[in-house]
């Protein structure tokens, strides 16, 4: 399996343990092409991600969230939970499941004290 086998449009859904005051809008739709994706979420935060297939059941995902072009009142959080307008990098190993042309990648991102459960389903 190569990264081009992941190419397609995905629905992204997340659930987070974050209970702070900042709004999180990372859900949405993205397109993977040649193992990479770039999209802007509902808050105007730009996400650039790379996907590396490790095995038939695992994919490494590295995502950089850049809030530079988001509204001035939007911020991400640092590992200690404080707000930041700097880009933040998230890395995780996702479980890869495939049946025919249907693909799902899921897992959790641990960042500071927060855990984000991520699911990406190919449309």
CATH code of the region 3-122: 2.40.160
Nearest to 2, CA basis, from 89, 96, 106: 96
Q: State the Cα–Cα distance between residues 53 and 93, nearest whole angstrom.
A: 10
- Pairing state between β 88-99 and 58-66: antiparallel
Q: Over 70: is that where the pLDDT of 63 sits?
A: yes
pLDDT at 113: 86
Is pLDDT of 1 > 70? no
Average per-residue pLDDT in the chain?
A: 91
Distances (CA, A) of 4 to 26, 50, 113: 24, 12, 34
Q: Tens digits of per-residue pLDDT, 66-105?
A: 999 999 889 999 999 899 999 999 999 999 999 888 999 9
Q: Is the pLDDT of residue 15 over 70?
A: yes
Res 119: pLDDT: 96
**How far is Cα 88 from Cα 78, in angstroms, rounded to an integer?**
8
- Predicted confidence at residue 90, as pLDDT, reads 95
């Amino acid at each position: 399996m190569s990264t081009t086998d992941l190419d397609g449009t995905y629905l992204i859904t997340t659930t987070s343990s974050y209970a702070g005051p900042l709004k999180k809008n990372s859900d949405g739709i993205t397109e993977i092409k040649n193992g990479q994706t770039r999209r802007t979420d509902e808050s105007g935060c730009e996400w650039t991600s790379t996907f590396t297939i490790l095995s038939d059941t695992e994919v490494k995902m590295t995502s950089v969230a850049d809030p530079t072009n988001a509204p001035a009142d939007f911020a991400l959080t640092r590992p200690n939970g404080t707000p930041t307008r700097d880009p933040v990098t998230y890395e995780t190993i996702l479980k890869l499941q495939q049946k025919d042309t249907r693909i799902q990648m899921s897992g959790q991102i641990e960042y500071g004290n927060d855990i984000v459960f991520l699911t990406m389903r190919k449309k």
